[in-house]
Amino acid sequence: MSDTPDSAVRTYTEQHRAAFLADLAEWLRIPSVSAQPEHDGDVRRSAEWLSGKLAETGFPVTEIWETPGAPAVFAEWPSQDPDAPVVLVYGHHDVQPAAREDGWSTDPFDPVIRDGRMYGRGAADDKGQVFFHTLGVRAHLAATGRSTPAVHLKLLVEGEEESGSPHFRALAEERAGRLAADVVIVSDTGMWDENTPTVCT
């Protein structure tokens, strides 16, 4: 008996867990602190890293969108079904400041895994959530045999959320045509408990 789509997705994610965590750890090592001007270069490096990884995942369109502040990342993967709904996922790649003296038991920008959990600045806010979409879409394709997602998928990952998103509204208005969607999913939220994720739409 073959796997159901749900179990096939779970199998794929488990098989690719180690590589996913290694990539995530690499991204977490970039101290993309938007509130500290000395990290402006790191925030840009974070955007470039994400854009490259999204292209590597298979997104045919990946772009870095400039703002008067930190850059955002846009990616798009059209579905082969022209009538598929358009889903826009929002997240951010900048992080809050962090230092050992803030109470971290290890360097916040040198992620570690303890008791099955990854600890590092941005692992849960918001790089972990954003990056999980790359594994999710690959698992979806593997489980269904599709070459494109079942939905027309767009990602917008800003670089100034932890600084109050001062340029986000202008960016969204300027790029409204590119960002048009049937539904927006906010990928910057918590979970009810360890086994119950939430989806905010």
Q: What are the structural domain ranges in the chain? A: 5-197
Q: pLDDT value at position 1?
A: 42
Q: What is the pLDDT of residues 75-131, one digit of tens each?
A: 999 999 999 999 999 999 999 999 999 899 999 999 999 998 999 999 999 999 999
Q: Which residues of the chain have pLDDT under 50?
A: 1
Distance CA 47, CA 141 (A): 25
Per the structure block, which two tokens stand in for 180?
């048009």
Q: pLDDT value at position 107?
A: 95
Helices (H), ranges, 71-175: 127-144, 168-174
Catalytic residues, by residue number, are 94, 161
> Looking at the domain 5-197, which fold is it?
Aminopeptidase (3.40.630)
Amino acid at 103: G
State residue 169 phi and psi, 5-degree precision.
-60, -45
The structure's pTM equals 0.94
Q: pLDDT value at position 53?
A: 98
Q: Which long-range contacts (CB under 8 A, 24 or more apart) does 132-138 make?
A: 132/20, 132/187, 133/89, 133/187, 134/20, 134/53, 134/54, 134/57, 135/13, 135/16, 135/20, 136/9, 136/13, 137/57, 137/58, 137/77, 138/12, 138/16, 138/57, 138/58
Per the structure block, which two tokens stand in for 107?
């360097």
